[in-house]
Structure 1
Amino acid sequence: MSMTVAELLVQTLDQIGAHQVFGIVGDALNPFTDAIRRQEVVRWIGVRHEEGAALAATGQAKLTGRLGVCCGTTGPGANHLVSGLYEARKDHAPVLAISGGVASAKRGTDYLQEDDPVALFGDVAVYSEIIASPQQAASVIHQAIAQAYGNRGVAHISIPPDIFSAKVTASVPSIATLRPRPEVAPAAEDIAGIAAQIGEATKVAVLCGHGCHGAAAELSALSDRLHAPLVHTYRGKDILPYDDPRWIGGVGLIGGRPGVDALADADILLMLGTDYPYSEFLPEDVKTIQIDERAFALGRRTPVTLGVVGSVRPALRLLLDRLPQRSDTHFLDKVNADRAAWNSMLDEKAALDRSHDKLHPQVVARAISDRASDNAIWVTDTGEVTLWASNWLRQSGRQQITGSFNNAAVGTGLGIANGAQALDLQRQVILHVGDGGFTMLLGEFMTAVEHALPVKIVVYDNSGWGLVHLEMEGAGVPPAPGSVFPNMDFAAFAQACGVQGFRVEKPAELPAAVDRWLAAEGPAILHAIVDPDEIPAMPHIEPSQAARFGISKLKQAINSLSPFRRSPP
């Protein structure tokens, strides 16, 4: 039985369970979108910018580990995909990017919108190929999906419209192989080496990264066996509930002092499933053992005495068979005392009655955290908002957290949130985003409206690039031109789009506004006018850094520069 290449691609997506394709229609894609139209399983979700399509597909891949799919037409359509696809590249998420191509007979003639798609996707993709003949199609489609799964990244195929429409008889081979990579157990001698080194140490601390997902029970058992504090990266924050006595908190600016100090005070640090990039927050004089599926990640952030290739869950199961029960709880008790003091500080900063006239961003983040569904998906954009949303979130252990982790790109949150919500319309998805980040891809809010994706968006409005201000103050310089800007009324914008919007400026208004916002049908915006002068809680600030913050403020006063934010319009 023959079918077109477009029909073959749709059939393959159906067979592997990839039932949503995000993109913008265009002439080169007409055979593909028509093939989707003529069946009822694979769904086309039209977006307002191709970057939003790439972000939505990546958001799904990050949350599920399964293939996300996005699509853009010839030239500019495909170009726009690339920026969003760096999310998948940097966070190692499997995504298939499909681009329309110039008609085969026109290639090489500098035709309208012609570019070199293989070169264009060369840096962002683990695989990039043009399907130049119908006979290639089945094999290239298989290879692309296999590469996306096998290398955990972006695979790109460019298909000219005449190839999309061409007939083929071959099906994509070996469909059963197109699936996420399985867990891998470490070598027995490596497990023995870890157990021996732990046996010589009194105080063990564990840094848990994204690779620890699915291993919550094993992590808890390891902590109980060794009385070891479990510290997490931002990508690992949602593995256990915030109030689990083993789960001490994070490291770095997205974290706190107890976690940083616990790592520094240990005799041995176990780095599990993490390639934590901020080496300045990792201890220099602590013996470190690292376990990761990626051999290339071992030892590149901090020196390790033993690097082990393997998945965290099977590694811990094997390791627990070799570790005796310990009785000394002094180290964990000390770390938990530090944690209690740190949490008290966080609670004070998040107290609703902290101020009568200023709405502090921590208060907003905590109020939303405490009212969210027990299984909510949290999406956090990049910038100062990341610090508020992550440090004052009290996760349940059933909730999931995602965002632009390693790409750290501002403006990516809304596209990611749309993808997350499209997975399950009944599950609560909450996006924390700054005013700058939200306006970057503002049109993607209409994607949510059009497809009835009930994403709940809180916009932290400080009328400026908050983290840029923080960095400038840390360097002792006043805010630069362009670092403050006026904003629209985001609540009114939501209403203009046909959905609900809420605006809050005073702490007393917050609880009722949050309740109405979360209860709203469909997508909704909470526009929070927050104090622009708030400084995040930092684990350790050197005296020279504190001095530079003061110098910056003095320069602002002397030069009569604008404050962090202007009065709302």
Structure 2
Amino acid sequence: MSKSENTVAKLILQQLEAWGVKRIYGVVGDAILGLMDELNQQKAIQFIAVKHESVAGMMASAEAKLTGKIGVCTSTMGPGVANLLNGLGDAHMDKAPVLAITGQAPTNKIGTDYKQYIDQQELVKPFASFTSLVSHPDAITDLLIKAMHTSLSNGSVSHLSVPKDLFTSISNAKVREQPTFVRGMSTIQEDQLVDVIKEMKEAKSPIILAGIGAKNSVDLVDQLSTKWGAGILVSLGAKGYFDDSIQLLMGGIGQGGNPYAEDLFKSADVVLVVGDTWWPEGYVPKDVTVIQIDQAEVNIGKEIPTKYGVVGGASEILTHLLKSIPSEQEDSKWISQVVDIKNKWEKENDEERNNQDVPIHPSRIVKSIEEVIEKDAILSIDTGDVTVWMNRNFKPTNQQFLFSGKWRTMGYGLPGALAAKLCYPEKQVLAIVGDGGIEMVLADLLTATRYELNITVIVFNNHALQMERDKMIVGGYAQEGVDLTNPDFVKIAQACGLKAYRISDNQQLKHILVEAVNENSPTLVTIDTAAIVHPETKESK
């Protein structure tokens, strides 16, 4: 091959580099050896070798959620691409831009009974907004750009299957730089908001429901809340951005949120939804005027019974609304109810967080985590019992929450933390996990060691799939399959090269956590946790 000739694999990496890709997550396999060879010969893109493809998919999804840029993962054919699907499901459901590049059978074996062959386009179709088989070397950059553009424009998964022999084939394709987008001036006019403002002015019991799309508009939400006389509720994704000191902030909604806010929320007459798609059935009002603000038109009215959809950035729209709402609301019965509910829950929450029982109460663990971490820490929270306890008891000071929102896969906490530390090495990163969740991905503790990622893994160790056990208890089901046979997490972590601690009583809790989060190496802390039925557990329907 002459210097002027490029292989498909080389062009893939050059094109990814041109669009700002810094790393690819994956597991090596026979069908991507050509890609791995080229990865070894360049320095711009780092290959992060994990132990299971599902972790690679979750890490790509986590990077996309954290940065807004495209996350990339790769695998071999057959079981490799099948294992990726769990991570791709998370990206699909949470609208994270992720690109999966998977090896496929050689071109002369496509459609045959060749080992590990499956129609990958059919396999990933439920998860990917774009998927294609690369059938000619010269098509590689066109297809790659189409895939990445689709993912970034839609907040979605894209996928390319590359036959094994094509990676080393010569291509005449050309690399193209990513366009620089210059956003136009606002097209929102005051007269377009007349009906919205009229509804807001007539509201007697307004609520603002804020999601992650409001993260850069917290002050504006607070100002509007005060001026309009509206209580504020937040989804888990936004929880870290809204300081508990905000006057009319009642906390979260849904399981793990403020337990007293549900009834008040159900009596609201106007709800302003800011950058959120979370509308938890059973916690929300039935007959209510909903005004939904979202940057993406596709999100409006999709899952929320919206009357007025306002497309645009939260800051832009909220600024318009603030100008149009009359002077600050005088203290009213509605505001008093909001404040009473906020204060009542704060008092009860503090009492719960100071529980001194042994094994240690989950809320006490949450309080201690809160007390020892930095204000801008990233908390990667696994799916399960830890999710609802963190939602219920954690009082944020601008920490960022990372989690599997709608896909809700167990095992997400560790991969999310690994990706977060790679993206933001200067930040403190914690994985908050249950014993069941961490057991699904234990092998990737070695990934933290391999890449010297000084994350802190905190394990709520209650020897059960506690959330499912809770639902069985509340629903009157037999408790089958929810007891866990746990290893010694300290020995496992140490064998993987991590520092490790065990906490068994409240006196140890804070000082060991302080020591653990300040280690300059990957660390695991296992905490003997009380198997408490979460107070808001409802029977599954």
- TM class by shorter chain equals over 0.9
Judge conservation of contact 2:27–2:50 (CA < 8 Å) in 1: yes
Distance apart, 1:386 and its partner CA? 0.8
Judge conservation of contact 2:250–2:258 (CA < 8 Å) in 1: no
Alpha-carbon distance change, 310 to 426 in structure 1, aligned in 2, over 3 angstroms: closer
Q: CA RMSD in A?
A: 2.2
Aligned to 1:535: 533
SS at match of 2:290: strand
Judge conservation of contact 1:465–1:483 (CA < 8 Å) in 2: yes
In the alignment, the residues of structure 2 paired with residue 278 and residue 223 of structure 1 have an alpha-carbon distance, to the nearest angstrom, of 22
Aligned to 1:564: none
Aligned to 1:459: 459
Judge conservation of contact 2:290–2:305 (CA < 8 Å) in 1: yes
In the alignment, the residues of structure 1 paired with residue 420 and residue 207 of structure 2 have an alpha-carbon distance, to the nearest angstrom, of 33
Aligned to 2:337: 334
Judge conservation of contact 2:248–2:338 (CA < 8 Å) in 1: no
Match of 1:312 among 301, 310, 314: 314
Distance apart, 1:292 and its partner CA? 2.6
Letter in 2 for 1:229: G
In the alignment, the residues of structure 1 paired with residue 5 and residue 228 of structure 2 have an alpha-carbon distance, to the nearest angstrom, of 62
Q: Deviations over 1:358-414 (max 9, x none)?
A: 3111111110111101110011111111111222212112x2101111111112221
Choose 164-173 or 522-531, whichever is displaced more.
164-173
Aligned to 2:524: 525
Aligned to 1:562: none
Aligned to 2:401: 401
Q: What pairs up with 1:98-113 in 2 under 5 angstroms?
A: 98-113=101-116
Judge conservation of contact 2:222–2:246 (CA < 8 Å) in 1: no
Gaps of 5+ in 2: none
TM-score (norm 2): 0.94
In the alignment, the residues of structure 1 paired with residue 188 and residue 55 of structure 2 have an alpha-carbon distance, to the nearest angstrom, of 38
Judge conservation of contact 1:184–1:311 (CA < 8 Å) in 2: no
Alpha-carbon distance change, 446 to 151 in structure 1, aligned in 2, over 3 angstroms: same
In the alignment, the residues of structure 2 paired with residue 304 and residue 423 of structure 1 have an alpha-carbon distance, to the nearest angstrom, of 36
Judge conservation of contact 1:127–1:144 (CA < 8 Å) in 2: yes
In the alignment, the residues of structure 2 paired with residue 184 and residue 470 of structure 1 have an alpha-carbon distance, to the nearest angstrom, of 49
Alpha-carbon distance change, 75 to 306 in structure 1, aligned in 2, over 3 angstroms: same
Q: Deviations over 1:191-217 (max 9, x none)?
A: 222111111123321001122222223
Letter in 1 for 2:248: R
Q: What pairs up with 1:98-247 in 2 under 5 angstroms?
A: 98-173=101-176, 175-176=178-179, 189-247=191-249
Aligned to 1:468: 468
Judge conservation of contact 1:90–1:406 (CA < 8 Å) in 2: yes
In the alignment, the residues of structure 1 paired with residue 489 and residue 92 of structure 2 have an alpha-carbon distance, to the nearest angstrom, of 32
Aligned to 2:484: 485
Letter in 2 for 1:58: S
Match of 1:6 among 6, 9, 15: 9
Distance apart, 1:478 and its partner CA? 3.6
Q: Deviations over 1:24-83 (max 9, x none)?
A: 112322222222221212111100001110111100111111111111012111111111
Gaps of 5+ in 1: 549-569
In the alignment, the residues of structure 1 paired with residue 516 and residue 182 of structure 2 have an alpha-carbon distance, to the nearest angstrom, of 37
In the alignment, the residues of structure 2 paired with residue 248 and residue 172 of structure 1 have an alpha-carbon distance, to the nearest angstrom, of 51
Judge conservation of contact 2:86–2:409 (CA < 8 Å) in 1: no
In the alignment, the residues of structure 1 paired with residue 14 and residue 495 of structure 2 have an alpha-carbon distance, to the nearest angstrom, of 39
Letter in 2 for 1:410: M
SS at match of 1:280: coil
Aligned to 1:56: 59
In the alignment, the residues of structure 1 paired with residue 163 and residue 6 of structure 2 have an alpha-carbon distance, to the nearest angstrom, of 16
Aligned to 1:563: none
In the alignment, the residues of structure 2 paired with residue 23 and residue 170 of structure 1 have an alpha-carbon distance, to the nearest angstrom, of 25
Distance apart, 1:134 and its partner CA? 0.9
Aligned to 2:414: 414
In the alignment, the residues of structure 2 paired with residue 509 and residue 75 of structure 1 have an alpha-carbon distance, to the nearest angstrom, of 48
In the alignment of these two chains, the number of paired residues is: 536
1:391 is aligned to 2:407: no
Q: Deviations over 1:288-318 (max 9, x none)?
A: 2222344454345453332333332222122
In the alignment, the residues of structure 2 paired with residue 242 and residue 163 of structure 1 have an alpha-carbon distance, to the nearest angstrom, of 55
Choose 181-190 or 73-82, whichever is displaced more.
181-190
Alpha-carbon distance change, 173 to 182 in structure 1, aligned in 2, over 3 angstroms: farther
In the alignment, the residues of structure 2 paired with residue 194 and residue 88 of structure 1 have an alpha-carbon distance, to the nearest angstrom, of 33
Judge conservation of contact 2:381–2:413 (CA < 8 Å) in 1: yes
Letter in 1 for 2:320: L
In the alignment, the residues of structure 2 paired with residue 273 and residue 376 of structure 1 have an alpha-carbon distance, to the nearest angstrom, of 22
In the alignment, the residues of structure 1 paired with residue 342 and residue 261 of structure 2 have an alpha-carbon distance, to the nearest angstrom, of 8
In the alignment, the residues of structure 2 paired with residue 28 and residue 496 of structure 1 have an alpha-carbon distance, to the nearest angstrom, of 32
Q: Deviations over 1:153-211 (max 9, x none)?
A: 1100111232111222332345216x799998657554222111111123321001122
Aligned to 1:359: 360
Judge conservation of contact 2:446–2:497 (CA < 8 Å) in 1: no
In the alignment, the residues of structure 2 paired with residue 222 and residue 2 of structure 1 have an alpha-carbon distance, to the nearest angstrom, of 59
Judge conservation of contact 1:61–1:94 (CA < 8 Å) in 2: yes
Letter in 2 for 1:327: Q
In the alignment, the residues of structure 2 paired with residue 328 and residue 225 of structure 1 have an alpha-carbon distance, to the nearest angstrom, of 9
In the alignment, the residues of structure 2 paired with residue 80 and residue 269 of structure 1 have an alpha-carbon distance, to the nearest angstrom, of 41
Distance apart, 1:94 and its partner CA? 0.2
Choose 154-163 or 29-38, whichever is displaced more.
29-38
Q: Deviations over 1:210-265 (max 9, x none)?
A: 22222223212212321322211111212221222233201111311343244233
Aligned to 2:382: 381
Q: Deviations over 1:84-135 (max 9, x none)?
A: 1111000000001110111112222211111111111111111111111011
Aligned to 1:78: 81
In the alignment, the residues of structure 2 paired with residue 536 and residue 275 of structure 1 have an alpha-carbon distance, to the nearest angstrom, of 24
Letter in 1 for 2:518: A
SS at match of 2:524: strand
In the alignment, the residues of structure 1 paired with residue 185 and residue 120 of structure 2 have an alpha-carbon distance, to the nearest angstrom, of 33
Judge conservation of contact 2:7–2:167 (CA < 8 Å) in 1: yes
1:347 is aligned to 2:350: yes
In the alignment, the residues of structure 1 paired with residue 501 and residue 384 of structure 2 have an alpha-carbon distance, to the nearest angstrom, of 23
Aligned to 1:506: 505
In the alignment, the residues of structure 2 paired with residue 227 and residue 137 of structure 1 have an alpha-carbon distance, to the nearest angstrom, of 55
Q: What pairs up with 1:216-295 in 2 under 5 angstroms?
A: 216-295=218-297
Aligned to 1:324: 326
In the alignment, the residues of structure 2 paired with residue 188 and residue 80 of structure 1 have an alpha-carbon distance, to the nearest angstrom, of 50
Distance apart, 1:282 and its partner CA? 0.8
SS at match of 2:324: coil
Judge conservation of contact 1:149–1:180 (CA < 8 Å) in 2: no
Aligned to 1:447: 447
Alpha-carbon distance change, 185 to 276 in structure 1, aligned in 2, over 3 angstroms: farther
SS at match of 2:502: strand
